[in-house]
Amino acid sequence: MSRPLSNDLRERVVRAVSGGESCRAVAARFGVAVSSVVKWSQRWRSTGSVAPGKMGGHRKRTLEPHRAFIEERIRQTPHLTLHKLKDELAARGVIVSHNAVWMFLRREGLRFK
């Protein structure tokens, strides 16, 4: 993921648009996309700041609170399939994809079959 352009550039772009230049002319002059000029101008008008919003972040792991249940099911039934485990989790109210179960097992080092 790329990082945001500097606030200095953003401020100069917004100042130029506020001064009456078109978004296309400002974009060409500063070498940025027209869509960026429009978005920065909108952000300036709505918040009074051109600073970028938060980028990225981490999602909480959905299956982490259910690790004990998953370990117990694997211990009880070593031939349990990923789809069956997913269905058992769904019965407990945890709706996840087949891939989410696989990634959790792989990340946690839980092996079976």
pLDDT in tens, 20-30: 999 999 999 99
- Residue 79 vs residue 45, higher pLDDT: 45
pLDDT confidence of residue 113: 58
Window from 6-10, 54-58, 93-97 with minimum mean pLDDT? 54-58
Separation in Å, CA 94 to CA 74, 91, 112: 17, 7, 21
Q: How far apart are CA 86 and CA 91, in angstroms?
A: 9
pLDDT confidence of residue 57: 79
- Is this structure's pTM higher than 0.85? no
pLDDT confidence of residue 1: 47
Token couple for 41: 């101008």
Nearest to 22 by CA among 43, 39, 4, 37: 37
- Say how many C-beta atoms besides its own lie within 10 A of residue 29's C-beta: 13
| Residue 54 one-letter amino acid | K
